[in-house]
């Protein structure tokens, strides 16, 4: 799971929220299509500053791998909008940026075999307490050392 990453063959529309962001030497347009890894990086690292300043795309991806491999991370089965997934939840610690949160959440969609998101949930563990999250089944709770 740590190795797979975001879907390499898919494309997501940039839309207004990323329009104007400078990426690979030019400002993005709303109709542009980018790989999911780049959209997530631009949304969470560049726009929302959830990761430390200076984090580049490779470092963002590597940080997600690090959290997935971390034995202190919590692991839970879930449904998101009714679709089965596997979630990873850990304290963000050294990965928390200027506008980051205390926790970092990774969702892996089982039917695809790829990550579907990785961000720092403002509400922490409460993020998964209500719809569209459901059927939460903890396989491993976050270790006590990573909870506080």
Site map 95..114 versus another protein, x via CB under 8 A = ---xx-------x-x--x-x
State yes or no: residue 23 binds another protein (CB under 8 A).
no
CB of 60 or CB of 80, closer to another protein: 80
Sole residue written with tokens 């949304």: 43
Q: What are phi and psi of 17, to 5 degrees?
A: -70, -25
- Min dist CB 45 to another protein, Å, is 12
How are the residues of the chain apportioned to helix, strand and coil, as percentages rounded to the nearest 5? 30, 30, 40
As a residue count, the chain comes to 148
Please give the structure tokens belonging to residue 83: 């679709």
State the number of binding residues for another protein (CB under 8 A): 35
End-to-end CA distance of the chain: 26
State yes or no: residue 116 binds another protein (CB under 8 A).
yes
Binding site for another protein (CB under 8 A): 7, 10-13, 15-17, 36, 39-40, 43, 47-49, 80-83, 98-99, 107, 109, 112, 114, 116-117, 119, 121-123, 127, 130-132
């Amino acid at each position: 799971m740590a190795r797979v990453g975001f879907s390499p063959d898919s494309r997501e529309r940039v839309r207004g929220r990323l329009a104007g962001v400078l990426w690979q030497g030019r400002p993005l347009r709303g109709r542009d299509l980018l790989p999911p890894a780049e959209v997530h990086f631009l949304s969470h690292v560049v726009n929302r500053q959830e990761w430390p300043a200076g984090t580049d795309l490779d470092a963002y991806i590597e940080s997600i791998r690090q959290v997935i491999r971390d034995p202190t991370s919590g692991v839970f089965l879930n449904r998101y909008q009714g679709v089965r997934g596997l979630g990873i939840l850990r304290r963000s610690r050294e990965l928390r940026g200027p506008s980051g949160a205390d926790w970092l959440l990774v969702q892996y969609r089982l039917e695809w075999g790829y990550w579907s998101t990785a961000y720092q949930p403002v509400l922490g563990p409460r993020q998964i307490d209500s719809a569209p999250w459901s059927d939460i089944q903890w396989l491993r709770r976050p270790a006590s050392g990573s909870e506080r």
